[in-house]
Structure 1
Amino acid sequence: MSTTLTTELLLHRAGTKSYWRGLTYRESVLSLRVHSRHVAARVRGGDDAAYVVELSWSGTHLMGACTCPHGSEGFFCKHCVAVGLVLLDRGETVPPPDAEDVELKDALRSLPAEVLRDLLYDRAAGDGPLRTRIIKKSQEN
């Protein structure tokens, strides 16, 4: 299985009812941004509330998260479908899970070395394998 966004995949993930409802919500997508490894959007719901939607891949499995009541229960809702359909309409897609995270690299480049060391220390202090990798790298230099 691949990481290709299609209408068939959206139908499979959402089910018939949510898929067909999602077809009518394409115009309700208020904003949509394709990031390095996910898509973030805001979609207006039937009650005029704006819901936050995120689409991404977990391996070859399309994941959808939405702040609407149905999405908050873990379902791939009509808002997720609408975002997927707008992506397809625009000729865009959900970036693959192994895409280069350009945003993260740019953010890391902009941080001072001391801040990077503090962040890495905080993470590595609780992550044994990462701690071991850092110590091994330091001994290679």
Structure 2
Amino acid sequence: MKIVLAFLALAVISAQGATLTDAQKEKLLEFHRECKESSGVEQIVIDDAKAGKYANDPKIKAHLFCVSKKIGLQNEAGEIQKDVMMAKLSALLNDQEIAKKMVELCAKPDSTPEETSYSVLKCYYQNTPDHVSLI
């Protein structure tokens, strides 16, 4: 596992395209606004999650699941959509192999759809050295 993580760290550092277009950023902000309203999560908790500080808070978990559904990473039932995740990560990281390794490492179901969102995004953040945020 350490070898895989070391490979991922090296590969992500050298990845070129870990950015979103302005239109994608605006759409993501729109999703966050909608999900923040429906979940009732405080902005500071969202900001902390973006910085890698994941609170064990049901509201942030609901928020993350809401955003994950809107992005297409999970369906309504909470099932991980690995093909969508793979496509989005490949585009974001500009490297299909790194994306594949991240999906293999992090795209694992948890006890509830909200826990799954939380675990997947936390795993992704913790295992990328430049901490490209999916939220």
Shared fold (TM-score greater than 0.5)?
no
**Of the two structures, which has the highest relative contact order with CA contacts closer than 8 Å and spacing of 6 or more?**
2
If the TM-score is normalised by the length of the shorter chain, which range does it land in?
under 0.3
Larger Rg: 1
Larger % of helix: which?
A: 2
TM-score, length basis structure 2: 0.26
Larger relative strand fraction = 1
